[in-house]
Amino acid sequence: MIQIENYIDGKLVAPLSGKYLDNINPATEEVYSQVPASQKEDVLNAIAAAKKAFPAWSKTSVEQRIEYFYKIAAMIRDKHEELALAESRDNGKPVKLAMRVDIPRAWQNLEFYAKAMSQFHAESYVSNSSINYTTYNPLGVVTCISPWNLPLYLFTWKIAPALITGNTVVAKPSEVTPMTAYLFSQIVKEAGLPDGVLNILHGLGPDMGDTLVGHEDIKAVSFTGSTATGKYIANKAAESFKKVSLEMGGKNPNIVFDDCDYEKALKTTIHSSFANQGQICLCGSRIYVQKSIYDKFKNDLAEAANKLKIGDPTDSKTAQGAVVSKSHYEKILSYIEIAKKEGGTILSGGEAVEGKGYFIKPTLIENLDINCQSNQDEIFGPVATITPFETESDVIAMANGTRYGLSATVWTGDVNKAHRVASEIDAGIVWVNCWLNRDLRTPFGGVKNSGLGREGGKDALHFFTEVKNTCIQVENL
Protein backbone atom coordinates (compact mmCIF):
# COMPACT_ATOMS: atom_id res chain seq x y z
CA MET A 1 0.00 0.00 0.00
CA ILE A 2 1.44 3.35 -1.02
CA GLN A 3 1.15 6.10 1.58
CA ILE A 4 0.84 9.52 -0.01
CA GLU A 5 1.92 12.50 2.11
CA ASN A 6 1.47 16.24 1.95
CA TYR A 7 4.42 18.32 0.78
CA ILE A 8 4.88 21.31 3.08
CA ASP A 9 7.97 23.50 3.46
CA GLY A 10 10.08 21.05 1.46
CA LYS A 11 9.10 18.03 3.55
CA LEU A 12 6.76 15.11 2.99
CA VAL A 13 4.52 15.17 6.04
CA ALA A 14 1.54 13.25 7.38
CA PRO A 15 -1.76 15.12 7.90
CA LEU A 16 -1.97 16.45 11.47
CA SER A 17 -5.15 14.46 12.10
CA GLY A 18 -3.35 11.24 11.13
CA LYS A 19 -6.36 10.38 8.97
CA TYR A 20 -6.17 9.02 5.41
CA LEU A 21 -8.64 8.30 2.62
CA ASP A 22 -8.65 5.19 0.43
CA ASN A 23 -7.46 5.71 -3.13
CA ILE A 24 -9.07 3.24 -5.52
CA ASN A 25 -7.94 2.05 -8.93
CA PRO A 26 -11.19 2.43 -10.93
CA ALA A 27 -10.22 -0.32 -13.37
CA THR A 28 -9.85 -2.96 -10.63
CA GLU A 29 -11.83 -1.44 -7.72
CA GLU A 30 -8.80 -2.18 -5.49
CA VAL A 31 -7.54 0.22 -2.85
CA TYR A 32 -3.89 0.77 -3.61
CA SER A 33 -2.93 3.94 -1.78
CA GLN A 34 -3.80 6.10 1.18
CA VAL A 35 -4.37 9.83 0.71
CA PRO A 36 -3.99 12.38 3.53
CA ALA A 37 -7.35 13.70 4.73
CA SER A 38 -5.94 17.18 5.31
CA GLN A 39 -7.82 19.74 7.38
CA LYS A 40 -7.62 23.44 8.14
CA GLU A 41 -4.48 23.09 10.32
CA ASP A 42 -2.54 21.45 7.47
CA VAL A 43 -3.61 24.28 5.16
CA LEU A 44 -2.45 26.88 7.71
CA ASN A 45 0.98 25.22 7.86
CA ALA A 46 1.23 25.22 4.06
CA ILE A 47 0.22 28.88 3.82
CA ALA A 48 2.76 29.81 6.53
CA ALA A 49 5.53 27.95 4.65
CA ALA A 50 4.59 29.64 1.37
CA LYS A 51 4.51 33.04 3.05
CA LYS A 52 7.96 32.50 4.55
CA ALA A 53 9.37 31.44 1.18
CA PHE A 54 7.85 34.33 -0.79
CA PRO A 55 10.37 37.16 -0.17
CA ALA A 56 13.36 35.12 -1.35
CA TRP A 57 11.56 33.39 -4.24
CA SER A 58 10.05 36.60 -5.59
CA LYS A 59 13.56 38.08 -5.70
CA THR A 60 15.23 35.18 -7.49
CA SER A 61 16.17 36.16 -11.01
CA VAL A 62 13.89 35.11 -13.84
CA GLU A 63 16.85 33.16 -15.27
CA GLN A 64 17.15 31.19 -12.05
CA ARG A 65 13.43 30.34 -12.03
CA ILE A 66 13.65 29.30 -15.67
CA GLU A 67 16.57 27.03 -14.82
CA TYR A 68 14.51 25.25 -12.14
CA PHE A 69 11.69 24.81 -14.63
CA TYR A 70 13.89 23.20 -17.27
CA LYS A 71 15.38 20.91 -14.64
CA ILE A 72 11.95 19.80 -13.38
CA ALA A 73 10.68 19.36 -16.95
CA ALA A 74 13.67 17.13 -17.74
CA MET A 75 12.97 15.04 -14.65
CA ILE A 76 9.34 14.57 -15.74
CA ARG A 77 10.61 13.40 -19.13
CA ASP A 78 12.89 10.90 -17.37
CA LYS A 79 9.92 9.53 -15.44
CA HIS A 80 7.55 9.56 -18.42
CA GLU A 81 6.47 5.93 -18.12
CA GLU A 82 6.30 5.81 -14.32
CA LEU A 83 4.10 8.91 -14.26
CA ALA A 84 1.86 7.63 -17.08
CA LEU A 85 1.29 4.34 -15.24
CA ALA A 86 0.50 6.21 -12.04
CA GLU A 87 -1.93 8.50 -13.85
CA SER A 88 -3.71 5.54 -15.43
CA ARG A 89 -3.96 3.63 -12.15
CA ASP A 90 -5.44 6.66 -10.37
CA ASN A 91 -7.78 7.78 -13.12
CA GLY A 92 -8.63 4.68 -15.18
CA LYS A 93 -7.45 6.22 -18.45
CA PRO A 94 -5.51 4.12 -20.99
CA VAL A 95 -1.77 4.19 -20.24
CA LYS A 96 -1.10 4.98 -23.88
CA LEU A 97 -3.22 8.14 -23.59
CA ALA A 98 -1.30 9.24 -20.49
CA MET A 99 1.97 8.46 -22.33
CA ARG A 100 0.90 10.45 -25.41
CA VAL A 101 -0.98 13.37 -23.84
CA ASP A 102 -1.01 13.83 -20.06
CA ILE A 103 2.64 13.47 -19.15
CA PRO A 104 4.18 15.22 -22.21
CA ARG A 105 1.82 18.11 -21.57
CA ALA A 106 3.10 18.35 -17.97
CA TRP A 107 6.70 18.94 -19.07
CA GLN A 108 5.50 21.14 -21.96
CA ASN A 109 3.62 23.36 -19.49
CA LEU A 110 6.84 23.98 -17.57
CA GLU A 111 8.92 24.51 -20.69
CA PHE A 112 6.27 26.77 -22.22
CA TYR A 113 6.07 29.05 -19.18
CA ALA A 114 9.85 29.12 -18.87
CA LYS A 115 10.00 30.45 -22.44
CA ALA A 116 6.98 32.73 -22.02
CA MET A 117 8.47 34.35 -18.94
CA SER A 118 11.63 35.24 -20.82
CA GLN A 119 9.42 37.38 -23.12
CA PHE A 120 7.22 38.85 -20.38
CA HIS A 121 8.66 42.18 -19.43
CA ALA A 122 8.06 45.64 -18.12
CA GLU A 123 6.91 48.37 -20.49
CA SER A 124 8.03 51.98 -20.51
CA TYR A 125 6.52 55.16 -21.90
CA VAL A 126 8.84 58.09 -22.34
CA SER A 127 7.89 61.72 -22.92
CA ASN A 128 10.00 64.85 -22.60
CA SER A 129 8.83 65.38 -19.04
CA SER A 130 8.49 61.90 -17.60
CA ILE A 131 9.38 58.26 -17.79
CA ASN A 132 6.58 55.83 -16.95
CA TYR A 133 7.41 52.21 -16.42
CA THR A 134 4.92 49.45 -15.87
CA THR A 135 6.00 46.36 -14.00
CA TYR A 136 4.27 43.03 -13.39
CA ASN A 137 4.90 41.95 -9.82
CA PRO A 138 4.13 38.66 -8.08
CA LEU A 139 1.08 38.66 -5.83
CA GLY A 140 2.39 36.61 -2.89
CA VAL A 141 0.92 33.27 -1.86
CA VAL A 142 -1.60 31.86 -4.32
CA THR A 143 -3.85 28.79 -4.30
CA CYS A 144 -4.11 26.41 -7.26
CA ILE A 145 -6.95 23.85 -7.18
CA SER A 146 -7.12 21.18 -9.88
CA PRO A 147 -9.51 18.34 -10.87
CA TRP A 148 -9.13 14.62 -11.56
CA ASN A 149 -9.70 14.32 -15.31
CA LEU A 150 -6.25 15.45 -16.48
CA PRO A 151 -4.44 15.36 -13.16
CA LEU A 152 -0.78 16.25 -13.74
CA TYR A 153 -1.58 18.08 -16.98
CA LEU A 154 -3.87 20.60 -15.24
CA PHE A 155 -1.89 20.69 -11.99
CA THR A 156 1.22 21.88 -13.87
CA TRP A 157 -0.86 24.15 -16.12
CA LYS A 158 -1.71 26.16 -13.00
CA ILE A 159 1.39 26.04 -10.85
CA ALA A 160 3.75 26.82 -13.76
CA PRO A 161 2.58 30.40 -14.47
CA ALA A 162 2.08 30.99 -10.73
CA LEU A 163 5.65 30.03 -9.81
CA ILE A 164 7.46 31.47 -12.82
CA THR A 165 6.06 34.93 -12.07
CA GLY A 166 7.54 34.75 -8.55
CA ASN A 167 4.58 33.68 -6.44
CA THR A 168 4.70 30.88 -3.91
CA VAL A 169 1.97 28.28 -4.15
CA VAL A 170 -0.34 26.15 -2.08
CA ALA A 171 -1.68 23.55 -4.50
CA LYS A 172 -4.55 21.13 -4.03
CA PRO A 173 -4.88 18.31 -6.56
CA SER A 174 -8.03 16.21 -6.61
CA GLU A 175 -8.33 13.69 -3.79
CA VAL A 176 -9.45 11.12 -6.40
CA THR A 177 -6.19 11.31 -8.40
CA PRO A 178 -3.43 12.44 -6.02
CA MET A 179 -0.62 10.15 -7.17
CA THR A 180 1.17 12.15 -9.86
CA ALA A 181 1.10 15.34 -7.76
CA TYR A 182 2.69 13.29 -4.96
CA LEU A 183 5.38 12.04 -7.34
CA PHE A 184 5.78 15.64 -8.53
CA SER A 185 6.53 16.74 -4.95
CA GLN A 186 9.41 14.25 -4.91
CA ILE A 187 10.64 15.62 -8.23
CA VAL A 188 10.69 19.27 -7.11
CA LYS A 189 12.47 18.27 -3.89
CA GLU A 190 15.14 16.46 -5.90
CA ALA A 191 15.39 19.40 -8.32
CA GLY A 192 16.26 21.62 -5.36
CA LEU A 193 13.30 24.00 -5.65
CA PRO A 194 13.60 26.02 -2.42
CA ASP A 195 11.50 24.81 0.52
CA GLY A 196 8.06 26.38 0.82
CA VAL A 197 7.93 27.66 -2.77
CA LEU A 198 5.50 24.90 -3.77
CA ASN A 199 3.35 23.19 -1.15
CA ILE A 200 0.97 20.35 -2.07
CA LEU A 201 -1.98 19.36 0.09
CA HIS A 202 -4.15 16.30 -0.39
CA GLY A 203 -7.67 15.75 0.84
CA LEU A 204 -11.30 16.63 0.43
CA GLY A 205 -12.13 20.06 -0.98
CA PRO A 206 -14.81 21.01 1.56
CA ASP A 207 -12.46 20.14 4.49
CA MET A 208 -9.85 22.59 3.26
CA GLY A 209 -11.58 24.96 0.85
CA ASP A 210 -12.58 27.80 3.16
CA THR A 211 -9.00 28.23 4.36
CA LEU A 212 -7.43 27.66 0.92
CA VAL A 213 -9.68 30.33 -0.55
CA GLY A 214 -10.58 32.62 2.34
CA HIS A 215 -7.29 33.01 4.26
CA GLU A 216 -6.05 36.61 4.31
CA ASP A 217 -2.56 35.60 3.12
CA ILE A 218 -3.91 34.02 -0.07
CA LYS A 219 -3.83 36.64 -2.80
CA ALA A 220 -5.38 34.75 -5.72
CA VAL A 221 -7.18 31.48 -6.43
CA SER A 222 -6.88 29.60 -9.68
CA PHE A 223 -9.50 26.86 -9.88
CA THR A 224 -10.43 24.18 -12.41
CA GLY A 225 -13.35 21.90 -11.64
CA SER A 226 -17.12 21.79 -11.58
CA THR A 227 -19.35 24.82 -11.90
CA ALA A 228 -20.91 24.14 -8.48
CA THR A 229 -17.52 24.24 -6.71
CA GLY A 230 -16.45 27.24 -8.80
CA LYS A 231 -19.52 29.14 -7.65
CA TYR A 232 -18.74 28.37 -4.01
CA ILE A 233 -15.13 29.48 -4.47
CA ALA A 234 -16.10 32.71 -6.25
CA ASN A 235 -18.44 33.63 -3.38
CA LYS A 236 -15.85 32.82 -0.73
CA ALA A 237 -13.08 34.71 -2.52
CA ALA A 238 -15.30 37.77 -3.02
CA GLU A 239 -15.39 38.33 0.76
CA SER A 240 -11.75 39.44 0.63
CA PHE A 241 -11.61 40.74 -3.00
CA LYS A 242 -9.19 38.07 -4.16
CA LYS A 243 -8.35 37.58 -7.79
CA VAL A 244 -10.13 34.47 -9.04
CA SER A 245 -9.74 32.46 -12.22
CA LEU A 246 -12.39 29.80 -12.78
CA GLU A 247 -12.29 27.04 -15.40
CA MET A 248 -15.50 25.06 -15.04
CA GLY A 249 -17.88 22.69 -16.78
CA GLY A 250 -18.94 22.44 -20.40
CA LYS A 251 -21.66 20.97 -22.61
CA ASN A 252 -19.99 21.67 -25.87
CA PRO A 253 -21.67 21.63 -29.29
CA ASN A 254 -20.02 19.79 -32.16
CA ILE A 255 -21.65 21.11 -35.37
CA VAL A 256 -21.35 19.10 -38.58
CA PHE A 257 -22.46 20.83 -41.81
CA ASP A 258 -23.09 18.76 -44.93
CA ASP A 259 -20.26 20.48 -46.84
CA CYS A 260 -17.59 19.25 -44.44
CA ASP A 261 -14.78 16.77 -44.98
CA TYR A 262 -17.01 13.86 -43.91
CA GLU A 263 -14.34 11.30 -43.02
CA LYS A 264 -12.32 13.79 -41.00
CA ALA A 265 -15.40 15.06 -39.16
CA LEU A 266 -16.48 11.49 -38.34
CA LYS A 267 -13.06 10.37 -37.13
CA THR A 268 -12.55 13.45 -35.00
CA THR A 269 -16.09 13.30 -33.59
CA ILE A 270 -15.45 9.81 -32.24
CA HIS A 271 -12.40 11.20 -30.52
CA SER A 272 -13.99 14.44 -29.31
CA SER A 273 -16.98 12.58 -27.88
CA PHE A 274 -15.22 9.73 -26.10
CA ALA A 275 -11.53 10.54 -25.52
CA ASN A 276 -10.54 10.03 -21.87
CA GLN A 277 -13.95 8.31 -21.47
CA GLY A 278 -15.64 11.62 -22.32
CA GLN A 279 -14.09 13.18 -19.24
CA ILE A 280 -12.53 16.23 -20.87
CA CYS A 281 -14.21 19.55 -20.25
CA LEU A 282 -13.85 20.24 -23.99
CA CYS A 283 -15.53 17.04 -25.21
CA GLY A 284 -18.24 17.65 -27.80
CA SER A 285 -21.11 16.08 -25.89
CA ARG A 286 -23.87 17.62 -28.07
CA ILE A 287 -23.46 16.64 -31.71
CA TYR A 288 -25.56 18.53 -34.26
CA VAL A 289 -25.56 17.16 -37.82
CA GLN A 290 -27.16 18.75 -40.89
CA LYS A 291 -30.25 16.83 -41.96
CA SER A 292 -29.01 15.76 -45.41
CA ILE A 293 -26.17 13.69 -43.89
CA TYR A 294 -27.73 12.98 -40.48
CA ASP A 295 -28.76 9.33 -40.96
CA LYS A 296 -25.48 8.27 -42.49
CA PHE A 297 -23.40 10.19 -39.93
CA LYS A 298 -25.27 8.81 -36.90
CA ASN A 299 -25.03 5.23 -38.20
CA ASP A 300 -21.32 5.55 -38.98
CA LEU A 301 -20.69 7.17 -35.61
CA ALA A 302 -22.60 4.49 -33.70
CA GLU A 303 -20.72 1.78 -35.58
CA ALA A 304 -17.38 3.40 -34.79
CA ALA A 305 -18.38 3.83 -31.11
CA ASN A 306 -19.30 0.15 -30.89
CA LYS A 307 -15.86 -0.77 -32.24
CA LEU A 308 -13.91 1.14 -29.57
CA LYS A 309 -12.07 -1.42 -27.46
CA ILE A 310 -12.97 -1.06 -23.78
CA GLY A 311 -11.03 -2.62 -20.95
CA ASP A 312 -7.67 -2.97 -19.22
CA PRO A 313 -6.06 0.50 -19.34
CA THR A 314 -2.59 -1.06 -19.42
CA ASP A 315 -3.34 -2.88 -22.69
CA SER A 316 -1.94 -0.88 -25.60
CA LYS A 317 -4.97 -1.77 -27.75
CA THR A 318 -7.46 -0.28 -25.28
CA ALA A 319 -9.23 2.85 -26.50
CA GLN A 320 -11.62 3.27 -23.55
CA GLY A 321 -10.56 2.78 -19.94
CA ALA A 322 -12.61 3.05 -16.76
CA VAL A 323 -14.35 6.21 -15.56
CA VAL A 324 -12.73 7.78 -12.56
CA SER A 325 -14.72 6.55 -9.54
CA LYS A 326 -17.73 4.60 -8.34
CA SER A 327 -19.75 7.73 -7.62
CA HIS A 328 -18.97 9.18 -11.03
CA TYR A 329 -19.83 5.84 -12.70
CA GLU A 330 -23.19 5.85 -10.92
CA LYS A 331 -23.81 9.46 -11.92
CA ILE A 332 -23.12 8.71 -15.62
CA LEU A 333 -25.34 5.62 -15.60
CA SER A 334 -28.13 7.59 -13.92
CA TYR A 335 -27.94 10.16 -16.75
CA ILE A 336 -28.29 7.38 -19.32
CA GLU A 337 -31.47 6.32 -17.50
CA ILE A 338 -32.69 9.93 -17.45
CA ALA A 339 -32.08 10.18 -21.21
CA LYS A 340 -34.08 6.98 -21.78
CA LYS A 341 -36.97 8.36 -19.71
CA GLU A 342 -36.77 11.58 -21.70
CA GLY A 343 -37.49 9.56 -24.84
CA GLY A 344 -33.91 9.08 -26.03
CA THR A 345 -33.05 6.25 -28.39
CA ILE A 346 -29.75 4.53 -27.65
CA LEU A 347 -27.67 4.15 -30.82
CA SER A 348 -24.59 2.66 -29.13
CA GLY A 349 -23.63 1.58 -25.62
CA GLY A 350 -26.19 2.70 -23.07
CA GLU A 351 -24.91 0.44 -20.32
CA ALA A 352 -21.97 -0.57 -18.16
CA VAL A 353 -19.58 -3.38 -19.01
CA GLU A 354 -20.23 -6.36 -16.78
CA GLY A 355 -17.56 -7.36 -14.28
CA LYS A 356 -15.05 -5.54 -12.13
CA GLY A 357 -14.14 -1.92 -12.74
CA TYR A 358 -16.08 1.19 -13.62
CA PHE A 359 -16.36 0.69 -17.38
CA ILE A 360 -19.19 2.23 -19.41
CA LYS A 361 -19.74 1.58 -23.11
CA PRO A 362 -19.42 4.65 -25.38
CA THR A 363 -23.00 5.84 -25.60
CA LEU A 364 -24.69 7.78 -28.38
CA ILE A 365 -28.30 8.93 -27.90
CA GLU A 366 -30.75 10.52 -30.34
CA ASN A 367 -34.36 11.76 -30.27
CA LEU A 368 -33.85 14.06 -27.32
CA ASP A 369 -35.41 17.47 -26.99
CA ILE A 370 -32.65 20.07 -26.97
CA ASN A 371 -33.97 21.45 -23.68
CA CYS A 372 -34.19 18.17 -21.77
CA GLN A 373 -31.96 17.45 -18.80
CA SER A 374 -29.61 15.07 -20.61
CA ASN A 375 -29.02 17.75 -23.26
CA GLN A 376 -28.55 20.51 -20.71
CA ASP A 377 -26.50 19.06 -17.83
CA GLU A 378 -22.82 18.21 -18.05
CA ILE A 379 -22.62 14.41 -17.81
CA PHE A 380 -18.81 14.29 -18.12
CA GLY A 381 -18.63 10.70 -19.29
CA PRO A 382 -18.71 8.61 -22.49
CA VAL A 383 -22.17 9.87 -23.41
CA ALA A 384 -23.00 12.12 -26.36
CA THR A 385 -26.34 13.17 -27.78
CA ILE A 386 -26.95 13.61 -31.52
CA THR A 387 -29.58 15.87 -33.09
CA PRO A 388 -30.35 16.88 -36.70
CA PHE A 389 -30.60 20.51 -37.83
CA GLU A 390 -31.63 22.26 -41.03
CA THR A 391 -30.23 25.77 -41.16
CA GLU A 392 -27.29 27.74 -39.87
CA SER A 393 -29.50 29.90 -37.67
CA ASP A 394 -31.27 26.83 -36.21
CA VAL A 395 -28.01 25.25 -35.16
CA ILE A 396 -26.60 28.46 -33.72
CA ALA A 397 -29.68 28.73 -31.49
CA MET A 398 -29.29 25.08 -30.45
CA ALA A 399 -25.58 25.47 -29.78
CA ASN A 400 -26.17 28.52 -27.59
CA GLY A 401 -29.11 26.98 -25.78
CA THR A 402 -27.39 25.86 -22.58
CA ARG A 403 -26.01 27.62 -19.51
CA TYR A 404 -22.47 26.61 -20.53
CA GLY A 405 -20.08 28.23 -22.99
CA LEU A 406 -16.67 26.61 -22.91
CA SER A 407 -15.88 25.41 -26.43
CA ALA A 408 -17.49 24.52 -29.76
CA THR A 409 -16.43 22.69 -32.90
CA VAL A 410 -17.62 23.56 -36.42
CA TRP A 411 -17.17 21.30 -39.46
CA THR A 412 -17.61 22.93 -42.87
CA GLY A 413 -15.72 23.41 -46.12
CA ASP A 414 -16.95 26.99 -46.42
CA VAL A 415 -14.61 29.43 -44.70
CA ASN A 416 -17.19 32.23 -44.70
CA LYS A 417 -19.74 30.01 -43.02
CA ALA A 418 -17.11 28.87 -40.50
CA HIS A 419 -16.36 32.46 -39.61
CA ARG A 420 -20.05 33.46 -39.42
CA VAL A 421 -20.99 30.56 -37.18
CA ALA A 422 -17.90 30.85 -34.97
CA SER A 423 -18.61 34.52 -34.36
CA GLU A 424 -22.20 33.78 -33.27
CA ILE A 425 -21.41 31.00 -30.83
CA ASP A 426 -21.21 31.82 -27.11
CA ALA A 427 -17.98 30.06 -26.22
CA GLY A 428 -14.47 30.96 -25.18
CA ILE A 429 -12.90 28.61 -27.74
CA VAL A 430 -14.14 27.59 -31.21
CA TRP A 431 -12.36 24.95 -33.27
CA VAL A 432 -13.04 24.84 -37.01
CA ASN A 433 -12.34 21.52 -38.75
CA CYS A 434 -10.33 20.30 -35.77
CA TRP A 435 -10.71 19.63 -32.06
CA LEU A 436 -8.45 20.24 -29.07
CA ASN A 437 -5.80 21.71 -31.28
CA ARG A 438 -3.95 23.68 -28.64
CA ASP A 439 -1.35 26.40 -29.02
CA LEU A 440 -0.37 27.23 -25.45
CA ARG A 441 0.05 30.91 -26.33
CA THR A 442 -3.69 31.29 -26.94
CA PRO A 443 -6.28 32.31 -24.31
CA PHE A 444 -8.10 29.36 -22.77
CA GLY A 445 -11.40 29.56 -20.90
CA GLY A 446 -15.15 29.79 -21.08
CA VAL A 447 -18.11 32.15 -20.90
CA LYS A 448 -21.45 31.87 -19.04
CA ASN A 449 -21.29 29.09 -16.41
CA SER A 450 -18.11 27.65 -17.90
CA GLY A 451 -15.63 30.17 -16.69
CA LEU A 452 -14.34 33.45 -15.48
CA GLY A 453 -11.04 34.77 -16.83
CA ARG A 454 -8.61 33.08 -19.18
CA GLU A 455 -5.62 30.82 -18.72
CA GLY A 456 -2.75 30.24 -21.12
CA GLY A 457 -0.08 32.47 -22.62
CA LYS A 458 0.04 36.04 -21.42
CA ASP A 459 -3.37 35.78 -19.73
CA ALA A 460 -2.07 33.49 -17.00
CA LEU A 461 1.05 35.64 -16.51
CA HIS A 462 -1.20 38.67 -16.08
CA PHE A 463 -3.50 36.80 -13.71
CA PHE A 464 -0.66 35.86 -11.39
CA THR A 465 0.84 39.36 -11.30
CA GLU A 466 -0.19 42.78 -10.09
CA VAL A 467 0.50 45.54 -12.54
CA LYS A 468 2.15 48.70 -11.23
CA ASN A 469 2.94 51.93 -12.99
CA THR A 470 5.73 54.18 -11.76
CA CYS A 471 6.04 57.70 -13.14
CA ILE A 472 9.30 59.63 -12.74
CA GLN A 473 9.31 63.27 -13.63
CA VAL A 474 12.44 64.28 -15.53
CA GLU A 475 13.64 67.56 -16.93
CA ASN A 476 14.54 68.15 -20.57
CA LEU A 477 14.66 64.50 -21.53
Q: If binding is defined by CB under 6 A, does position 402 make contact with ligand NAD? A: no
Q: Given the complex with ligand NAD, which of 28 and 226 has the nearer CB atom?
A: 226
- Residue 318 in contact with ligand NAD, rule: CB under 6 A: no
Instruction: Please check whether residue 372 is in contact with residue 394, taking contact to mean a CB–CB distance below 8 angstroms.
Output: no
Name, in order, each residue with C-beta under 8 angstroms of 201's C-beta and a sequence gap of 6 or more: 6, 8, 36, 38, 42, 43, 46, 170, 171, 172, 208, 212
Judged by CB under 6 A, which of 10, 36, 205, 253 binds ligand NAD? 205
Q: Is 312 in the site for ligand NAD (CB under 6 A)?
A: no
Active-site entry in 5, 111, 247, 366: 247
Reference 165, options 69, 62, 47; nearest CA is: 62
Q: Is 147 in the site for ligand NAD (CB under 6 A)?
A: yes
Contact string 359-398 vs ligand NAD (x = CB under 6 A)? -------------------x-x------------------
**Size of interface with ligand NAD, in residues (CB under 6 A):** 30
- Residue 401: closest CA among 431, 429, 432, 369: 369
Q: Is 281 assigned a catalytic role?
A: yes
By the 8 A CB rule, do 383 and 366 touch? Answer: no
Sequence-separated (6 or more) residues with CB below 8 Å from residue 83: 76, 98, 102, 103, 106, 152, 180, 183
The gap from C-alpha 439 to its chain's centroid, in whole angstroms, comes to 15
* Residue 247 annotated to the active site: yes
Hey, which residues between 215 and 244 contact ligand NAD (CB under 6 A)? Answer: 224-226, 229, 232-233
Q: How far is the CB of 464 from ligand NAD (least distance, A)?
A: 17
Mark 427-446 with x for binding to ligand NAD (rule: CB under 6 A) and - for no binding: -------------------x
Q: Which of 111, 144, 175, 281 is catalytic?
A: 281
CB of 350 to ligand NAD, least distance (A): 22
Which of 193, 319, 406, 425: binder of ligand NAD (CB under 6 A)?
A: 406
Task: Say whether residue 172 binds ligand NAD (CB under 6 A).
Answer: yes
Residue 329 is a binding residue for ligand NAD (CB under 6 A): no
- Beta-bridged to residue 310, according to DSSP, are 320
346-350 — which CB contacts under 8 Å span 24+ positions?
347/298, 347/299, 347/301, 347/302, 347/305, 347/386, 348/301, 348/302, 348/303, 348/305, 348/306, 349/305, 349/306, 349/382, 349/383
Whole-angstrom distance, CA of residue 179 vs CA of residue 83: 9
The least distance separating ligand NAD from the CB of residue 327, rounded to whole angstroms, comes to 10
Contacts with ligand NAD by CB under 6 A lie at: 145-149, 154, 172, 174-175, 205-206, 209, 212-213, 224-226, 229, 232-233, 247-250, 281, 378, 380, 406, 446, 451
Catalytically active residues are 247, 281
